[in-house]
A and B are shown apart, each in its own frame.
Chain A
C-alpha cells in the first residue's frame, strides 16, 4: 500500500542544514521534514569544536580574513563569492543561535567566547586567531538541540524514521520524493513543489571514519540516479585526529587549546611541516604529515599511529573546554589524557563534494549551471562550493547554518509562487521495484561482507594518499563489488523495522558515491587539498583549477568540468 501526501516544501534530512531550512520555510509554506532518524540523532550532534565567525569578541578579526583563510584552506578550489557570503553572514548566524538560546561559553564580561582552530588566522596568515565560537566540545550537539527546539516551538511537521529512496520529477522540475517508512515497510509518496536535500555525508564508505553508521550518501545517490551530476567528489577530508582504529573524532579544539602532536620519537613533527602555525595547520596537511611520519618509520612503535598530547595543559582547561573528547579517550582507549598521550590516526571525516548548488541552495547542473526548478540541497550533501578542496575546521557548522537558511528561504519563496507539479499515479513503482529486488534476492552474498570490502579498499586506495595505479585497481574492485551487490541476500523479509533491507539499500548509495569519487580522483592528476596523488604531488592550476562534475552513465561515470568562481584571492603556494 502507498500513502500519499501533498506539501509545498519537503526537506530531506533533519541535521543542522535540514532543520535550519525547515525553520525558514515552515512559517511560509506547508513544509514537511523527512528524516531516516529521529532528528536529534543526526550527526550534526557529533560536531565538537566550534563555529567560526569574526565576532572579534576576544581578538581583532574580520570577515575578510575569514574569507581569505577559507579560500586558502580550500586550496583555491573554493568559489570565492560563496565563501565571501558565508563568512560575512557568519556573524549573524552565531548571534541568531545565541538568541535562540544556544549556550555558548562566555568571556568574563559575558560575551560569546572564542578560541583558535586549524587554518584560521589573523591578517592573512600571520598567526592563529581566536575565531571559533563554542559550547565546550559539544558545539554541534548544542546547535542540533537548539534548532530542534526551535522546530518544536514552530510546530514543524516531522516524518521520523522515513528513508527517502527516490525523487519525483515533472519534466525538468522536482515534484517530490518517495520514502520508505521503517516502522511499517510502506512507501509514501510526497508530492511537493520544492524538495531540499540535507542528508549529510557518505563517510561510511571508508573503514576508519568519524561518521555515523547512517551516513551513506542517500541524497547524493538519489540525485545522481536522477541524472544530476555530483561535484568535486574526489575531495574527501581525512581528519588527522581520529581515535586509533575506531576513527572516533578527537576535536581540533584539543590543538586549539594547546594540544600537540608527537611522533614515535617524541618529536613535535608539525614544526617541520608548518613552521608558523604548526599543529594548527589545515587538516589535509596534518593528515599528510602523519602519513609521512608513519611511512618513514616514525609512527609509535613502528605502527600506523602517532600521539596527541595534552599532558602539559591545565587540567581545568581539559575538564571545562574539552571534556567529552577526554572521556572518549578514557572509554574507548582506556587512556588517561592528563597523564598519557592519546593514540590517533587520520579518520575519514567530511565530504567537500556533493550535489552542486548556487548560493541560494538551488541545485544546478552542467557547465553553465542550469537551475533545476524546485530542487535544493544544503549542508554536507551539497557542494556550493565554500570548502573547495579542503574544508577548514568549524566551517561545516557555519555552512549548514548559512546555506540551510538561504536554501530554506529561497525554497519557501519559490514554493509560494509555484503550482503543484504533476505526479503520475504509480510514481513509487521504481523505488518499490528496487526494494522488492533486494528483499527477494536469493544469491549467496552478504551485505556486510561487501560493505567491509568497500570500506577496506576505499580506505587503503582512496585515502590520504592516492596513486593512479591504486585508483585503477580500486575501480576494478568497485566493479566486482557491484556484481556481488546484485547477488546480495537480505535476511529479514518482514515489513516492520526492516533495518536489514534499509542497510542493503544504503550500501547501494555508498557504491554510487564511491564510483564517482574514484573516477574523479583518477582523472585529476594533480594534488590539491584533500586529494593527494603521490604520482602527481604538485598542484597544477593551469590544468586543474576547475570543479569536476560526475554524471551517471551506462556502465560507469562520465566526467565534465566547470570553472571555479574566482575573486580577489589569486592562487599562491599554500604554506603555513
Chain B
C-alpha cells in the first residue's frame, strides 16, 4: 500500500462552446496517492477546483468504457492509468477524430453509427429448439478476444485513417464484426463482409497497430482486422 500523497500537475485541453469558440489549456496541481487513478485526479480538479470541467465516467475500473481520453499523447482509460505512472505531470486531452462537445466529452454518435453498420447481433434464422445451440470450446475460443470490446473508442480514435477519412468505419466496428463473423453460430458473415468489403470498410486499414496499442482490454485489434481481411479475400466463410 502506498503511503503519503504526491503532487500531480494536470494539464487539460479545455473547450466550452458556451464560453467561446476556441479551445484552451488549463493547469491544476493536486495532491494524490500514487495508487490513485488519473480519473481520481480529474475528479479532484472537478470537485475542488473547477466544477465546469466536463468528462464522462462511470464504473472507474475499466469495464464501462466511458472515460477514454488522450493521456500523455496515448489513448487510454483514465481509470486504468495510475498517478504513479504519470506523476509529477500529466497532459489530458479528448480523444481525436470525433467532434469535441465540451472539455473531454466528444460526440459518440458517429462511433456508434459505425458499430451499428456491422449488424452487431447474432444472425441465425434457424429454430434453435428449447436448449442451447452446441458450440465446442475451440469454436468458442475463435472469437473470444473480440468479445472483450467495451466500445470505449480508444482504438478507433487512435487510428490515423479514421481521423482523415469520415467514411471509414474504424477498428472498433471491425472488432465487433469479427466477434460475429467468427462465431460458429452466426450465419450473417456474408452480409457483414459485403459491408466491410466496401470502400469505407476493412481495406482502409494500413496496419499501423495504433489500435492494438490503445486497446485497454488488450484485444489484438490489428490481428482481428487482418483475419477479417483474409476472410473477405479468400472467401473462407
Contacts and interface: CB of A to CB of B under 8 A. Distances in A.
A494 B56 CA distance: 17
A141 B183 CA distance: 17
Contact of A497 (B1, B105, B130, B139): B105
A496 interface: yes
Nearest to A43: B59
A447 B51 CA distance: 10
Nearest first, the 9 A-B pairs at minimum CB distance are A491-B51, A101-B122, A448-B47, A110-B134, A149-B121, A500-B51, A492-B52, A41-B64, A153-B121
A500 B120 contact: no
Given A103-B147, A153-B121, 16 more contacts: A40-B65, A101-B186, A104-B132, A111-B132, A111-B134, A141-B148, A142-B147, A150-B121, A331-B82, A448-B47, A491-B51, A494-B52, A496-B17, A496-B102, A499-B46, A500-B51
Contact of B52 (A142, A150, A213, A500): A500
Contacts of A448: 43, 47-48
A145 B186 CA distance: 16
B61 A112 contact: no
A333 B137 CA distance: 32
B121 A152 contact: yes
B200 interface: no
Interface in A305-351: 324, 328, 331-334, 343
A183 B66 contact: no
A45 B59 contact: yes
A180 to B, nearest CB: 15
Interface in A138-177: 138, 141-142, 145, 149-150, 152-153
B1 A244 contact: yes
B199 interface: no
B64 A101 contact: no
B4 interface: no
Contact of A248 (B61, B64, B183): B61
A328 B61 CA distance: 8
A112 B64 contact: no
Nearest to B143: A103
A149 to B, nearest CB: 4
A269 to B, nearest CB: 21
A58 interface: no
A153 B134 CA distance: 23
Interface of A: 37-38, 40-43, 45-46, 92, 94-95, 98-101, 103-112, 135-136, 138, 141-142, 145, 149-150, 152-153, 183, 212-214, 244-246, 248, 324, 328, 331-334, 343, 446-448, 490-492, 494-500
A497 B58 contact: no
19 contacts: A40-B65, A40-B150, A45-B63, A45-B150, A92-B130, A98-B128, A101-B186, A105-B137, A106-B140, A150-B121, A152-B116, A213-B58, A213-B59, A245-B1, A334-B35, A343-B1, A491-B52, A492-B52, A499-B55
B128 A99 contact: yes
* Residue of B57, B143, B147 with most chain A CB atoms under a 10 A cut-off: B147
Nearest to B48: A448
B9 interface: no
Interface string B32-48: 00010000000100111
Contacts of B51: 490-492, 500
Contacts of B121: 100-101, 149-150, 152-153
B195 interface: no
A98 B133 contact: yes
B135 A497 contact: no
A46 B61 contact: yes
B220 interface: no
A37 B205 CA distance: 30
B18 interface: yes
Interface of B: 1, 16-19, 35, 43, 46-48, 50-52, 54-66, 80, 82, 101-103, 105, 108, 112, 116, 120-122, 128, 130-137, 139-140, 143-144, 147-148, 150-151, 180, 183, 185-186
Given A37-B58, A212-B60, A446-B48, A95 B144 contact: no
A42 B148 CA distance: 15
Contact of B101 (A104, A109, A334, A497): A497
B137 A43 contact: no
Contacts of B185: 101
Contacts of B59: 41, 43, 45-46, 212-213
A496 B60 CA distance: 23
Task: State the majority secondary structure of interface residues on B.
Answer: loop
A496 B64 contact: no
A101 B58 contact: no
B63 A494 contact: no
A500 B80 CA distance: 23
A323 B61 CA distance: 14
A105 B58 contact: no
Contacts of B56: 41
A183 B35 CA distance: 32
* Residue of A106, A246, A447 with most chain B CB atoms under a 10 A cut-off: A106
A110 B132 CA distance: 9
A43 B64 CA distance: 7
A141 B48 CA distance: 33
Given A448-B48, A496-B16, A496-B18, A138 B82 contact: no
A500 B128 contact: no
A495 B18 contact: yes
Given A45-B63, A331-B80, A152 B120 contact: yes
A99 B123 CA distance: 10
A164 to B, nearest CB: 16
Nearest to B84: A334
B48 A37 contact: no
B122 A100 contact: yes
Contacts of B147: 103, 135, 138, 142, 145
* Residue of A103, A135, A448 with most chain B CB atoms under a 10 A cut-off: A103
B91 to A, nearest CB: 21
Contacts of A41: 56, 58-59, 64-66
A141 B58 contact: no
Contacts of B58: 37, 41-43, 212-214
Contacts of B112: 38
A324 B134 CA distance: 25
A95 B51 CA distance: 47
Contacts of B18: 494-496
A183 B107 CA distance: 10
Contacts of B186: 101
A101 B65 contact: no
A495 B101 CA distance: 12
Contacts of B131: 95
Contacts of A136: 144
B111 to A, nearest CB: 10
Given A152-B116, A446-B48, A108 B1 contact: no
B180 to A, nearest CB: 7
Nearest to B19: A494
B135 A106 contact: yes
